[in-house]
Amino acid sequence: MQAVLPVHVHVENEWQDEGKSDRRHTPRTRMRTCVTNKTKTKSSVTIVPKQTQKTRSRSPSPSREPWIPPPGRTTKGQRFAWQSPKSRLEINPVTEITINDDTDNEDYQESERPQRTISASRVSAEQQEQLATEIKTYEKRIQTLIENIGMLKEKAQLKGNQSQADNLRSEIGSSLVELEQLQKQYAQRVASMQSQTTTVPSYSSNSVAPFDNVNQETTEPFSNRTNRVTRSRSSSQSPIRTKSPLNTNNNNTQQSRSWSADQKRRLTPKVSFEDTENFSRKSTTPTRGPLRLNPERERLLVALSASETDIAAIIAQLSSLKDILTKLKVDDQPVSYEIDQLYKQRNQLLNFIEQFEKSNSSLKDFLQHQYHLEAEHGHLHEEKESLLTRLHYVENENRQIRRLLLDRENDNISLNQDLDKLHSHTIGFDTIKTSLETNRAHLQRELHAKEGDINRLQCQLRMLERDLHKNRSQCENLQRSIEKKNDLRKPMFSGVNRRRVINTEKLQTQLNEKDEYIEKLEKQLIDLKSGGKVHEKLINAETEITRLQTKLEHSERLMKDYKEQLNTSTSKIERNNLTKNHLSEMELEKRRVILQKRIEELEPLPELLRQAEFKNQELQTKLIECEKRINEQTSYINELTSKHSVQYRLLDRMKEKTYSSDDDNRTLQQKIDLLERQLCASEEENTNIHRNLNIKDETVRDLQARLNSKTFELSSITKQFDNTQNDIKAKEVEIRDTFGSKERMLQQRVHDLDNQLSKLRLEFGQLKREKEELERRNTLQLSDLRDKLEQSHNTNRSMQNYVNFLKTTYSSVFNDSLNTFPSTVRLNTILDTPITFP
């Protein structure tokens, strides 16, 4: 805390001096007002009617200046302003203060004041409790709604049915509507509470801070204010007057009034300090903004009126001294009682000066205290505004986050629906895939079986071809041999040859047909080999060809056996013919019978060939059908693969979307966590603020107790002061005896006083110049206030030194023996010079 220099305070109102105006002004009726102020409540606002008092008749006097009206009729909730031509003082009312000097209604008003203050304090405490409870309930509801939203998210992730999603959306919408309603209610309540708080006074640019008045009025001469103060003393007491140094009989009433004021201040809510960031480095002077005062109007006005009355008493005492000196000037020989009056007046003047110093110091302390309180009040108001702006900003952020949450939840619900559809599609595709795989395995099995059959047919065909080639060669050999034999034995074997020829022709025709069939099969095989798409058909055909070839080979083998037998038989016959030409026809017939049996055995061969051809045709039809089925299945498989690829792409896209939504959800969760942390921090700040408020209330109570103890000490000091006055009166009686011897010293002292008066005139001129310079400087910035306070402190110190010097001079004058009586010329100079008090 920085040290603040003491300040002289006086309310300026310049009027003409006695020498400058002789006009008489008729006394005006003085309106007695009841100034009240009470904090507003939500329910009703009671307006206390203005009270008036009957005026007291006062005798006009030539020395009295015109009556000064009180500072404006005020009503409840108005600010108090005290303005002079060069300065202005404003006080903003917060607590209830009733001021009335009506002695008749004094007891009734004092009984009503504590009740009003108690009701105001109760209303403010109840409002604070209601706000605290509402804030707690609001925070609890926000937490419950956040938890409900989290539970709804989990439900939406676990259950993806559309009906459940609609229910979840409705629940989320209802919860958000409740949140918005709560926010609106809270904002309305905060606005209503803000409207009830009183506005802080702001000083205009033309008017200077209240402490600028102080410096101006410290240098104001007492001659400009004599008439005003004497008039206030001669007439009824001021409505804010509680103490008079001349009237000692009113001490009891004054103590009762101060006691009621102390009770009122205890009951009214005091200004508390909130825990700010710059509290550790806070100074006594405000850092920025206009100067604000705590609205304890009564104490300030009482202190000002006390200082005014003290100054008025000093001026009256000086005027009485002047009258005594004029009497001494007129009378050549002084009277003892006049000398006694002069001693009394001197002692009273010293007492009044001491009393003025005490009241001035108490007023300085009070103003310093009020200045610090108002500076802290300004800081609290600024912090309140910053907290309100921060609260509005946080509410806007909460609304935006809720909107984002709704959008994200809708996206999540749509994504879950799409995922469910894809899941069902994938299940269908999996079933189709399994069925296709089973069909494929079945077809592969059939293809393998058909390939085995084709291979067998091919083997049979090859065997048949070999048998056919052998049979052909054998038949050709047999034909040649038969032709030779026929040439030899035409007549003998004509019938047999014919039969053989018929059989051979039949066999040749069959062989030709088989050759044609084999060529066709080879062409089909070539065509199948040329077509790469029907590789399986080729395999089946090859299997059938192999089977047929095996059959042909088997038949060729049989033909070879028969041909060998024929050859052997023919060779034997030829040998027998060559060797034995004399064989009989019976043997030939036997041989013919054997040959015919063998030919009969060969006759079922063409039927077997026909059966093989028929089976081959059936196999070809089956191959064609299998090719058609394979083509259809391949086309269906291609369609399924294309659909499967498209669905895989969709699945990839959905996975990407889900990943992006997960990222967004994570970011939103982080934001929600940040908001929860901010809410926790704000709760902690609120708890800290409540703790600090409780601490500050305790400190205020301690200060109130100290003030009460100080007031008690002051009352005891006043009693001691009364006792000292009685002692001084007794001493004055003793001094009257020694006054004759000390009259001679007065002439020398008067000469010294003349010199001092001339010095005082020079100092008075210097003080006027300094006053003008101070008035010019006061219109500048508030930053020059410290320098001006130092200057006022210096002037105050010089005044105190001067008063101490006067005390010492008076004590030396009255203690030493007076050798000579003051000359009339010097007394005239003393009387002609105006008495001033800086």
pLDDT per position as a tens digit, 755-802:
888 788 888 888 888 877 777 776 676 666 677 777 888 888 888 888
More confidently predicted of 565 and 232: 565
Taking the mean position of all CA atoms in its chain, how far away is CA 440?
66
- Write down the pLDDT at residue 235: 37
Could you tell me if 455 and 572 lie in one domain? yes
Total domains in the fold of the chain:
2
For the segment 446-469, the average pLDDT, to the nearest whole number, is 76
More confidently predicted of 105 and 687: 687
Of the listed ranges 127-131, 189-193, 196-200, 646-650, the one predicted with least confidence: 196-200
Burial track 160-194 (b if 16+ CB lie within 10 A, e otherwise) = beeeebeebbeebeebbeebeebeeebeebbeeee
Three-state secondary structure string covering 244-273: CCCCHHHHHHHHHHHHHHHHHHHHCCCCCC
Of the listed ranges 87-101, 164-178, 333-347, 616-630, the one predicted with least confidence: 87-101
Give residue 563's domain range.
Answer: 417-662
Share of the chain above pLDDT 70, in %: 49
More confidently predicted of 605 and 206: 605
Q: Which of 239, 233, 243, 258 is nearest to 33 (CA)?
A: 239
Could you tell me if 657 and 765 lie in one domain? no
More confidently predicted of 10 and 549: 549
DSSP 660-715: HHHHHHHHHHHHHHHHHHHHHHHHHHHHHHHHHHHHHHHHHHHHHHHHHHHHHHHH
- Write down the pLDDT at residue 443: 76
pLDDT class of 582 with cuts at 50, 70, 90: low
- Write down the pLDDT at residue 832: 45
Residue 637's alpha-carbon distances to 274, 438, 630, in angstroms, are: 80, 13, 10
- Write down the pLDDT at residue 120: 52
Q: Which of 698, 696, 704, 701 is nearest to 274 (CA)?
A: 696
Whether 637 is in a domain gets the answer yes
Could you tell me if 653 and 772 lie in one domain? no
For the segment 612-622, the average pLDDT, to the nearest whole number, is 77
Could you tell me if 503 and 629 lie in one domain? yes
Show which of 628, 662, 696 is a domain's final residue.
662
Whether 729 is in a domain gets the answer no
- Write down the pLDDT at residue 129: 75
- Write down the pLDDT at residue 113: 53
More confidently predicted of 387 and 317: 387
- Provide the residue count of the chain: 838
Whether 239 is in a domain gets the answer no
Contact 190, 387 (CB under 8 A): no
pLDDT class of 535 with cuts at 50, 70, 90: low
Whether 231 is in a domain gets the answer no
Q: Which of 94, 25, 106 is nearest to 58 (CA)?
A: 25
- Write down the pLDDT at residue 578: 62
pLDDT class of 29 with cuts at 50, 70, 90: very low
- Write down the pLDDT at residue 254: 45
Q: What is the DSSP secondary structure assignment for residue 532, as one 8-state letter? A: G
pLDDT of 820 over the 70 cut: no
Whether 599 is in a domain gets the answer yes
Of the listed ranges 349-363, 539-553, 692-706, the one predicted with least confidence: 539-553
pLDDT class of 201 with cuts at 50, 70, 90: very low
Q: Between the ranges 88-97, 388-397, 825-834, where is the mean pLDDT highest?
A: 388-397
Which residues contact residue 548 at a Cβ distance below 8 angstroms, ignoring those fewer than 6 apart? 457, 458, 460, 461, 464, 521, 612, 616
Contact 8, 360 (CB under 8 A): yes
Q: Tell me the chain's radius of gyration from C-alpha atoms.
A: 67
Q: Which of 558, 515, 539 is nearest to 456 (CA)?
A: 539
More confidently predicted of 107 and 363: 363
Rounded CA separation 675/681 (Å): 10
Rounded CA separation 660/401 (Å): 18
Share of the chain above pLDDT 90, in %: 0
More confidently predicted of 450 and 191: 450
Q: Which of 505, 503, 500, 516 is nearest to 465 (CA)?
A: 516
- Write down the pLDDT at residue 202: 38
Could you tell me if 511 and 607 lie in one domain? yes
Phi, psi angle pair for 81, to nearest 5°? -130, 135
pLDDT of 532 over the 80 cut: no
Taking the mean position of all CA atoms in its chain, how far away is CA 296?
37
Could you tell me if 624 and 747 lie in one domain? no
Which residues contact residue 73 at a Cβ distance below 8 angstroms, ignoring those fewer than 6 apart? 31, 33, 50
Residue found under tokens 């629940």:
171
Show which of 643, 662, 681 is a domain's final residue.
662
User: What is the pTM (predicted TM-score) of this model?
Assistant: 0.22
pLDDT of 720 over the 70 cut: yes
Query: What is the residue-averaged pLDDT of the chain?
Result: 65
CB-based contacts of 582-590 (< 8 A; 24+ apart in sequence):
585/492, 588/492, 588/493
Cα angle vertex 530, ends 525, 534, to 5°? 75
pLDDT class of 115 with cuts at 50, 70, 90: low
For the segment 426-449, the average pLDDT, to the nearest whole number, is 76
- Write down the pLDDT at residue 166: 64
Contact 291, 785 (CB under 8 A): no
Q: Between the ranges 8-22, 294-308, 410-424, where is the mean pLDDT highest?
A: 410-424
Could you tell me if 609 and 516 lie in one domain? yes
Could you tell me if 454 and 540 lie in one domain? yes
Show which of 617, 633, 662 is a domain's final residue.
662
Whether 172 is in a domain gets the answer no
Rounded CA separation 741/737 (Å): 9
Contact 221, 836 (CB under 8 A): yes
CB-based contacts of 596-602 (< 8 A; 24+ apart in sequence):
596/499, 598/562, 598/565, 599/503, 602/507, 602/558, 602/559, 602/562
For the segment 555-575, the average pLDDT, to the nearest whole number, is 69
For the segment 128-137, the average pLDDT, to the nearest whole number, is 72
Q: Is the dihedral of CA 239, 244, 249, 254 positive or negative?
A: positive
For the segment 315-331, the average pLDDT, to the nearest whole number, is 74
Whether 212 is in a domain gets the answer no
Residue 783 token pair: 């930053």
Rounded CA separation 799/836 (Å): 12
pLDDT of 554 over the 60 cut: yes
* Residue 6: burial class (beta carbons within 10 Å; 0-12, 13-18, 19+): middle
pLDDT in tens, 653-673: 777 777 777 777 777 778 777
Whether 520 is in a domain gets the answer yes
pLDDT class of 3 with cuts at 50, 70, 90: very low
